[in-house]
Structure 1
Amino acid sequence: MGVTARETGGGAGTIIAPGRLRRTVLVVAGLNLAYFFVESGIALAIGSVSLFADSVDFLEDTAVNLLIFLALGWSLAWRARMGKVMAGIILVPALAAAWQAFAKVSHPAPPDPLALLLTAGGAAVVNLACTLILARLRHHGGSMTTAAWLAARNDVVVNLAIIAMGLLTLWLRSGWPDIVLGLIIVVVNVAAAKEVWEVATSEGLAARALAGEEID
């Protein structure tokens, strides 16, 4: 069925065609997948915890947007369920960052600052583009488009932090800033997952109310 603002909390009377939503998230998925290969390759080559965590985040964003592409025509109740699944998906980069940080603690060699800065700068451009693309649609697909927009928005912040960390690494010649930022990425993704879960829970309650079920 069509997705209306009345169902998802957007502006009153606004109707966004499902086809437009699908095309939008498919473009965003393509951008994320392309940069995943770029960033993951460079991260592994230079041994950067934060850059690797961010590259996994691009893969997570690809999955989220592809799931949105498939699920936009579903009912409010099923979209709420998918929103909770996406909350779990958002935690994947957090686990990857934690694993990389743990592995590097025993040998905190600094990553190549120049390669890190250039790669993080490219990531910021891609994520900012995705944020702007999704911004006008984020209230019109329920928790799923909220998940996609939140992920892109948080990624821009993370990319700017990686750039700042790269400058610090260039000055200190230490791998510890990279490790610390990797752990911060864990916190950012956990917070995003919590927010998406809360939105999905609200949608689930709304679906139950529309179905005439009693809500405790």
Structure 2
Amino acid sequence: MSVDRASLRRAVLLVAGLNLAYMLVELAVAVSIGSVALVADAVDFFEDFAVNLLIAIALGWSVARQVRVGKIMAVLIVLPAIAALIMAVMKVGDPDPPASGPLLAAALGALVVNLVCTGVLVRFRSGVGSLTAAAYLAARNDLLAGVAIVALAGVTAWTGSGWPDILLGVGLVLLNGTAAREVWEKAEQERLAEQALAGELDDD
């Protein structure tokens, strides 16, 4: 499916700006209440900012260069997972629960931002290969994470335990790892397809 690249560039720049702005908000809340899940989600917002900014820059490049950018994006998607894992390990010895009120407020805000971003990107998700696949997957994962964190606020208030927050942080690690693998594989498929078109692969 072909897309209007100018429209796509405007869309990803809008999404990049929204993600950067809310990352600052969510990170401030996450640090103040000591939430593993919110820290992972805040770093995830930064990853989405970087991914969408790279897309805006890479549009118009050759397929080979776009494939390289797609693989860079796959690595970027892993970064929030690493941040969440480190904080989760640090909190295992002292699993204090985060304050459920600020946790819920931050999660609802994140959910609204992620709904907007997913809505903006959904029509571009298969338009420019691994580039838009990366942006859409990142927005989709953030939306799923937002729903999970809203639920986490309720579970935390009910149980008074920090373990749900730790477990959700680990869940976000797995979610981001899956997205990274999908984007990497998509980029590799594009590289092989480009080689085939150029006659670089044997027919057998």
Q: TM-score range by the shorter chain?
A: over 0.9
> Which residue among 189, 194, 198 is the counterpart of 1:207?
194
Letter in 2 for 1:150: L
Which runs of structure 1 show a deviation greater than 4 angstroms over 4 or more consecutive aligned residues?
A: none
Deviations 1:103-160 (A, max 9, x none): 1111110000010001001101101110010000111121011000001011111111
Is 1:61 matched with 2:45? no
| Cross-structure match for 2:28 | 41
Is 1:127 matched with 2:114? yes
Rounded to whole Å, the distance in 1 between the matches of 2:36 and 2:111 is: 17
> Which residue among 142, 151, 174 is the counterpart of 1:155?
142
Instruction: Give how far 1:210 is off.
Output: 2.0
Rounded to whole Å, the distance in 2 between the matches of 1:153 and 1:126 is: 11
Rounded to whole Å, the distance in 1 between the matches of 2:107 and 2:142 is: 10
Instruction: Give how far 1:22 is off.
Output: 0.8
TM superposition score normalised by structure 1: 0.92
> Which residue among 6, 11, 15 is the counterpart of 1:28?
15
Letter in 2 for 1:57: D
Letter in 1 for 2:190: E
Instruction: Give how far 1:17 is off.
Output: 2.2
Rounded to whole Å, the distance in 1 between the matches of 2:4 and 2:96 is: 50
Structure 1's unaligned 5+ residue stretches are 1-9
Rounded to whole Å, the distance in 1 between the matches of 2:124 and 2:163 is: 39
Rounded to whole Å, the distance in 2 between the matches of 1:197 and 1:188 is: 15
Query: What SS is found at the alignment partner of 2:124?
Result: coil
Instruction: Give how far 1:82 is off.
Output: 1.1
| Cross-structure match for 2:64 | 77
Rounded to whole Å, the distance in 2 between the matches of 1:187 and 1:139 is: 23
Superposed CA RMSD in Å reads 1.0
TM superposition score normalised by structure 2: 0.97
Is 1:142 matched with 2:160? no
| Cross-structure match for 2:94 | 107
Is 1:179 matched with 2:197? no
| Cross-structure match for 1:7 | none
Deviations 1:38-70 (A, max 9, x none): 000000000000001000000000000000000
Letter in 1 for 2:160: R
Rounded to whole Å, the distance in 1 between the matches of 2:37 and 2:25 is: 15
Structure 2's unaligned 5+ residue stretches are none
Rounded to whole Å, the distance in 2 between the matches of 1:82 and 1:47 is: 34
Letter in 1 for 2:55: I
Identity over aligned pairs, percent: 55
Letter in 1 for 2:99: D
Is 1:98 matched with 2:85? yes
Letter in 2 for 1:42: V
